[in-house]
A and B are shown apart, each in its own frame.
Chain A
Amino acid sequence: EPEVTQTPSHQVTQMGQEVILRCVPISNHLYFYWYRQILGQKVEFLVSFYNNEISEKSEIFDDQFSVERPDGSNFTLKIRSTKLEDSAMYFCASKPGGLIEQPQHFGDGTRLSIL
Chain B
Amino acid sequence: AQTVTQSQPEMSVQEAETVTLSCTYDTSESNYYLFWYKQPPSRQMILVIRQEAYKQQNATENRFSVNFQKAAKSFSLKISDSQLGDTAMYFCAFFPSRYNNNDMRFGAGTRLTVKP
Contacts and interface: CB of A to CB of B under 8 A. Distances in A.
Contact of A43 (B44, B45, B46, B101): B45
Contacts of A98: 101
8 contacts: A33-B102, A44-B106, A48-B101, A98-B101, A100-B98, A100-B100, A109-B44, A109-B45
Chain B interface size, as a band, is 20 to 34
A48 to B, nearest CB: 4
Contacts of A89: 43
Nearest to B106: A43
Contact of A45 (B99, B103, B108): B103
**Binding site secondary structure of chain A:** strand
B101 A108 contact: no
Interface in B92-116: 93, 95, 98-109
B43 A48 contact: no
Given A31-B101, A42-B107, A55-B102, 18 more contacts: A33-B104, A35-B104, A42-B108, A45-B104, A48-B103, A56-B103, A58-B103, A89-B43, A98-B101, A100-B95, A100-B99, A100-B100, A101-B50, A104-B47, A104-B104, A108-B42, A108-B43, A109-B43
Interface in A90-115: 91, 93, 98, 100-101, 103-106, 108-109, 111
Interface of A: 31, 33, 35, 41-45, 48, 55-56, 58, 89, 91, 93, 98, 100-101, 103-106, 108-109, 111
Contact of B102 (A56, A91, A103): A56
B42 A103 contact: no
